[in-house]
């Protein structure tokens, strides 16, 4: 019987929120757009880039400025964040993933990042080889919190939802898990607060990656 653990990326495996805020600010500066406070930007983490920029700018996703921002973001992110990726991996992630794999779990990533950016970040962080499947927001018609990303992972791995658990730092991740019929682990060290996470009713709530590993092994 195959078992799998599906991970969010930003704020769950890698502490990228800081870099994301910096990259947003750099994009706005390069395009002579008004600056936006970091709290507003952090509030969009977990959304696909077009939705995030549209929300921050207060415009529709199909406005040309959104496409311009997304394109510039991707090149700027690679310059700013990728060189420091290994330093941004949360404590316990490297050992924890290895321990789960040694216990026979299949590992996957379901992220709101576009697949190209997700693959680049995972590779730069030295994590890509840990995962059998990586699903990006541009590979599904409806990204998180819709369950489609979860269904894609389950189908690719040939795992039943009852034998899968989703790990993430936002309500988007927990709600995706609910929709896909998976258990869920909310981590409190990322973007969303404890109260926000609890509002989505995760199966477990933990405050470290070691806690993630312990919860996964407890539920298997």
Q: What's the Cα-to-Cα distance from 72 to each of 11, 19, 67, 111, rounded to whole Å?
A: 22, 15, 9, 20
Assess contact for 90 and 74: CB atoms under 8 A.
no
Question: Which one from 10, 15, 169, 173 is the annotated catalytic residue?
Answer: 10
14, β-bridge pairs: 10, 89
Q: What's the Cα-to-Cα distance from 82 to each of 48, 85, 86, rounded to whole Å?
A: 19, 5, 8
In this structure, what DSSP letter does residue 162 have?
Answer: G
8 flagged as catalytic: yes
Assess contact for 34 and 58: CB atoms under 8 A.
no
Question: Which one from 8, 15, 169, 173 is the annotated catalytic residue?
Answer: 8
Active site residues: 8, 10
């Amino acid at each position: 019987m195959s078992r799998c653990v599906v991970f969010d990326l930003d704020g769950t495996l890698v502490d990228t929120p800081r870099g994301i805020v910096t990259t947003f600010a750099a994009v706005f500066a390069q395009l002579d757009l008004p600056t936006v406070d970091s709290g507003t930007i952090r509030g969009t983490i977990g959304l696909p880039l077009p939705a995030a920029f549209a929300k921050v700018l207060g415009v529709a996703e199909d406005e040309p400025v959104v496409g311009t921002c997304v394109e510039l973001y991707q090149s700027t992110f690679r310059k700013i964040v990728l060189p420091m990726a290994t330093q941004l991996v949360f404590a316990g992630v490297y050992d924890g993933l290895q321990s789960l794999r040694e216990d026979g779990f299949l590992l996957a990533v379901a992220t709101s990042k576009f697949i190209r950016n997700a693959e680049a970040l995972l590779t730069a962080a030295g994590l890509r080889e840990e995962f059998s499947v990586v699903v990006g927001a541009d590979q599904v018609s409806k990204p998180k919190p819709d369950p489609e990303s979860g269904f894609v992972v389950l189908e690719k791995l040939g795992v039943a939802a009852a034998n899968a658990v989703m790990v993430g730092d936002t309500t988007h991740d927990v709600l995706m898990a609910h929709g896909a019929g998976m258990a869920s682990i909310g981590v409190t060290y990322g973007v969303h607060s404890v109260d926000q996470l609890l509002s989505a009713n995760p199966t477990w709530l933990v405050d470290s990656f070691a806690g993630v590993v312990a919860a996964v092994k407890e539920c298997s």
